[in-house]
Structure 1
Amino acid sequence: MTKASISAVPGLIATFLVLAAVLAGLAVLAARKLDRPVMLPALLTTSIAEILTVTLLPGTSGVEAGQCDSGLPVHLLTSSSSLLNMGLFIPGAAISVLLFRRPATTVASFIVFSGLVEFSQAVTPLGRSCSATDLAANATGALMGTALAVAWLRTRRQPQPLRRPGRDLIWGAGLAAVGAAALVGAFNSRVHAVDVVSADDHRQAVIDSADGSDQWLAAAAGDLFGDGTEIQQTGAEKDGPHLKVTATTNRGTISGWWPERTLEQAWATGNRGEPGKLSRAQAARVAHAFAERYFRDSVTGSEQATRPVGGEADAAYLVTFRRRHQGVLMPMRLDFTVTRAGRIIGFTSKTVKDPVLPQAVVTENAAREQAAEAAGGIATSAQLMAKQVGGQWRPLWLVGANNTDVWLDAVTGAKATPDK
């Protein structure tokens, strides 16, 4: 709250001078009427004027009205804003102790005062941010100021540096209890808690973990879409320990996983085929060259197939890479779309390590017969592939029978339902 206000220095100084003059003037008049020294009352009211000006001067920052950041003050001693807040409350608390000689009541008063300030920031459209971190920083500043003043009084070696310590402690505890109850009730009824600290930390963690991903993705986009490719926008989204990074360019979009440096998919703008004289073998070589650079693990040991797609106006080739172990189709997938002019206009990739599977014992004929019997028709196709069932990799037969798909465990022969 403090850091944002300091940016509006002209308005801040003018408001502070006016408010300090009014409050200090009233304090001086009251002290003279009571025949008391005027310096400490004037300094105390000046400090309060500073707090009010800095914390409640309208600004353009902060969360929405009616909200308060409830995040834990994990950056209390490292945030420049928190340190400024501490410094803001130290003088007032110290002067109050020197004036009244009641440290417990002073600490309680300034903490309740800070809570009122944060509540005012939350419920009024001042453009200021209510924050649990600010409250903790203010309370820390009040404690520090009080401790400094008490230490100063004790160095003066006066017979009774503090006035009625027992009564002060009771008053302080009572004020703290009543003030805390009132503030908790007010906040619960009028303010919605949001964890901005956690959101900011998460956002910063994503930014930090994505360091270097932009350059990698830009290089991949340039290799795919050609010279003149320019990054227009990038994004990153956390997914457990991984980071999905995306980039929008002037020629298309591309995404991948970081820090694994594995691409996921890309599509050119206007991703339609185009006429040309590229043969099927040439299209396969175009896709293979790009795959060797960015998908070497997927290419190794894979079967490559190429088939034409589209019509004359949008002619293209679909180049696929698949891998089998002992007849079982592995979960890895890699597909390229290459135009007849030799341009890759898109690809999709599923980079999954080949799982270790139990030995399949159910034959294709047995799977077809069982599926046909279960579906009440004739089995028209059968494919043995690795799928997860209950989080465990299993070899499953996918059999098409009577216009339905029947999944059978190739080890037990039982019906199975693959995980989504």
Structure 2
Amino acid sequence: MIQASISAVPGLIVSFLILAALVAAPTALVAKARSKPWPLRTALAVYLVGIAAVTLLPGDAGLESWQCDTGMPTRLFTSVSSLLNIALFAPGALLAVFLFRRPVTVAAAFGALSGALELAQSAGHLGRSCSVTDLAANATGALLGSSAGALWIYLRRQSPGKPLRDLAWGMSLGALAVLAVGGVFESRIDRVDIVARDDQKRALAETAVQADEWITAAARGVFGSDTQVRQTATATASVTEPDEGGCRLRITATTNHGTISGSWPAKTLESARSSDVRADEGSLGAREVAAAAARLAREWFPQHAAGSVQRVRPVGHGPTTVYRVTYRRYAHGVLMPMRLDLTLTGTGRVLGFAAETVADPVLPPVTVDEAEAKALAQGAAGAPGEFRRALLLARQVRGVWRPVWLVGDGSGGRASGRDVAVDAVTGERIAGEISGAATPTAATGGPPSSR
């Protein structure tokens, strides 16, 4: 509050001095006329003016009218702003205890004053910020100041003013203030959690540094130890799985050997592409490339490699052959949605990869076999033709994971417009878009048992 006020309210000190002069003189004159000690009363009046100036003078910051930051005050004793707010209210409460010698009532009164000021900041078009954290800090300051005043009374062996009445009045005033302020907050205030928003920004800043370190290590692991990261870019990624929680970053690194991207803090690599896509002349065969891909997968794609089937497909002939290495996982003969596709040269150099990290879904048992699926697809197509290819895979149908037969003519070993999707549990044809698995190719193949 104090930090924001100094920067947000032009002429705060000048305004305070003018208001203090306007209040101090009448307070001193009234005290003298009533034969009361005037210095302490004047000091308390001036201090209250200071609190009002800091909290209520119009500024150029703050939330919208009738909004309040209701985030929990998690850094009440570590935040500079909160400590300044505590310091704002503690001296005023101490002066009031010196004057009235009723510490409980003073603590309740200053707590109620804090609630009233925060509500005024929220209700008025003052350009100020209502905050539960400020309210808690102010109330803490009032409690500390009142406690210090009570200790001072005890050490000086002065009797407090009617302690039982002080206790009754203080508890009643405190309860009334809590009910009144809480009622207004509950019925009228639009809650905004700026504390959580600031914590998220701070966490993102901290995690971005860690993400940079991780993607740098991954780039060197994929492209080689001489890889130098030239630039990294981060973006907030949407959370798609209900158990992921929190915020994810998608980070992309541009290096002297290519680009690589992944997700943080899950530490899952998503794609990479070498800047040099020419095939190297190498002596490694399919078996050696498969072993090199397996080492890479175990280190950087353990969730893809575990329980998966590796297949290697050479592209081209001779020493410039390029190898496509795929990882697929099957559960009860159903192709799971995760995928990992690696492209390596005959020297073992990685030209690129594409990975999709999806947890294996829990599926209902399959009741429709391949022959039935082909017959159902033929009937659904309503046209002559031979459906030679059938692949059983997990797909999302209207947001729910299902085992699906994807039946087609097998032209080119790739999904085509004539493919028919059949629910492997009900036998019903699935119309429209389905999602959740990689497009099948000839390299995907079937489960190990169908080789």
Pairwise TM-score range, normalised by the shorter structure: 0.7 to 0.9
Question: 1:414 deviation in Å?
Answer: 4.5
Q: In structure 2, which of residues 365, 372, 392 is the aligned counterpart of residue 384 of structure 1?
A: 392
Contact 2:41 2:99 in 1 (8 A): yes
3-state SS, counterpart of residue 35 of structure 1: coil
Kindly tell me: are residues 265 and 145 of structure 1, through their superposed partners in 2, closer, same or farther at Cα, counting changes over 3 Å?
same
Contact 2:328 2:340 in 1 (8 A): no
Question: 1:381 deviation in Å?
Answer: 3.2
- TM (norm. structure 2) is 0.68
Q: In structure 2, which of residues 258, 262, 267 is the aligned counterpart of residue 256 of structure 1?
A: 262
3-state SS, counterpart of residue 212 of structure 1: helix
Contact 1:16 1:53 in 2 (8 A): yes
CA distance in 2, matches of 1:18, 1:267: 68
CA distance in 2, matches of 1:58, 1:346: 58
Aligned pairs for 1:277-356 (under 5 A) are 294-295=300-301, 298=304, 301-305=309-313, 319=324, 321-323=326-328, 325=330, 328-335=334-341, 347-352=353-358
Matched, 1:368 2:378: no
Q: In structure 1, which of residues 187, 190, 200 is the aligned counterpart of residue 198 of structure 2?
A: 200
Matched, 1:30 2:30: yes
Contact 2:313 2:325 in 1 (8 A): yes
Deviations 1:367-396 (A, max 9, x none): 312433455455353112345789998764
Matched to 1:247, the amino acid is: I
Question: 1:397 deviation in Å?
Answer: 2.5
Contact 2:62 2:128 in 1 (8 A): yes
Deviations 1:304-326 (A, max 9, x none): 44779xxxxxxxx9956243658
Question: 1:36 deviation in Å?
Answer: 0.8
Q: In structure 2, which of residues 213, 216, 225 is the aligned counterpart of residue 215 of structure 1?
A: 213
Matched to 2:328, the amino acid is: R
Matched, 1:118 2:94: no
Kindly tell me: are residues 358 and 373 of structure 1, through their superposed partners in 2, closer, same or farther at Cα, counting changes over 3 Å?
same
Deviations 1:207-265 (A, max 9, x none): 55555211222454576699675325323558425863323566897532334432123
CA distance in 2, matches of 1:237, 1:51: 44
Kindly tell me: are residues 356 and 188 of structure 1, through their superposed partners in 2, closer, same or farther at Cα, counting changes over 3 Å?
closer
Q: Percent of counterpart pairs with the same letter?
A: 40
Kindly tell me: are residues 254 and 171 of structure 1, through their superposed partners in 2, closer, same or farther at Cα, counting changes over 3 Å?
same
Contact 1:97 1:150 in 2 (8 A): yes
Aligned partner of 2:172 in structure 1 is: 173
Kindly tell me: are residues 386 and 134 of structure 1, through their superposed partners in 2, closer, same or farther at Cα, counting changes over 3 Å?
same
CA distance in 2, matches of 1:415, 1:318: 38
Contact 2:121 2:128 in 1 (8 A): yes
Q: Which moved more, 1:207-216 or 1:112-121?
A: 207-216
Q: Which moved more, 1:128-137 or 1:41-50?
A: 41-50
Question: 1:31 deviation in Å?
Answer: 1.0
Aligned partner of 2:440 in structure 1 is: none
CA distance in 2, matches of 1:85, 1:9: 16
Question: 1:41 deviation in Å?
Answer: 0.6
CA distance in 2, matches of 1:174, 1:164: 15
CA distance in 2, matches of 1:383, 1:74: 54
CA distance in 2, matches of 1:323, 1:202: 36
Contact 2:362 2:401 in 1 (8 A): yes
CA distance in 1, matches of 2:58, 2:272: 47
Contact 2:112 2:177 in 1 (8 A): no
RMSD of the TM alignment (CA)?
A: 4.9
Contact 2:9 2:60 in 1 (8 A): no
Aligned partner of 2:161 in structure 1 is: 162
Matched to 1:399, the amino acid is: V
CA distance in 2, matches of 1:290, 1:236: 30
Aligned pairs for 1:43-54 (under 5 A) are 43-54=43-54
CA distance in 1, matches of 2:366, 2:82: 63
Contact 2:251 2:262 in 1 (8 A): no
CA distance in 2, matches of 1:9, 1:205: 30
Deviations 1:63-122 (A, max 9, x none): 445421012233333333222212211111121122123444423332232123212333
Kindly tell me: are residues 187 and 145 of structure 1, through their superposed partners in 2, closer, same or farther at Cα, counting changes over 3 Å?
same
Aligned partner of 1:313 in structure 2 is: none
Contact 2:250 2:264 in 1 (8 A): no
CA distance in 2, matches of 1:323, 1:248: 25
Matched, 1:246 2:250: yes
Kindly tell me: are residues 235 and 173 of structure 1, through their superposed partners in 2, closer, same or farther at Cα, counting changes over 3 Å?
same
3-state SS, counterpart of residue 405 of structure 2: strand
Aligned partner of 1:314 in structure 2 is: none
Question: 1:146 deviation in Å?
Answer: 1.9
3-state SS, counterpart of residue 384 of structure 1: strand
Contact 1:322 1:329 in 2 (8 A): no
3-state SS, counterpart of residue 269 of structure 2: strand
Q: Which moved more, 1:57-66 or 1:85-94?
A: 57-66
Contact 2:234 2:251 in 1 (8 A): yes
CA distance in 2, matches of 1:210, 1:324: 32
Question: 1:37 deviation in Å?
Answer: 0.5
3-state SS, counterpart of residue 230 of structure 1: strand
Deviations 1:37-84 (A, max 9, x none): 112112212321332233345555544454210122333333332222
Aligned pairs for 1:37-186 (under 5 A) are 37-56=37-56, 61-124=61-124, 126-158=126-158, 161-163=160-162, 165-166=164-165, 169-170=168-169, 173=172, 177=176, 180-181=179-180, 184-185=183-184
Kindly tell me: are residues 277 and 93 of structure 1, through their superposed partners in 2, closer, same or farther at Cα, counting changes over 3 Å?
closer
3-state SS, counterpart of residue 302 of structure 1: strand
Count of residues in Structure 1 that have an aligned counterpart in Structure 2: 402
Aligned partner of 1:405 in structure 2 is: 420
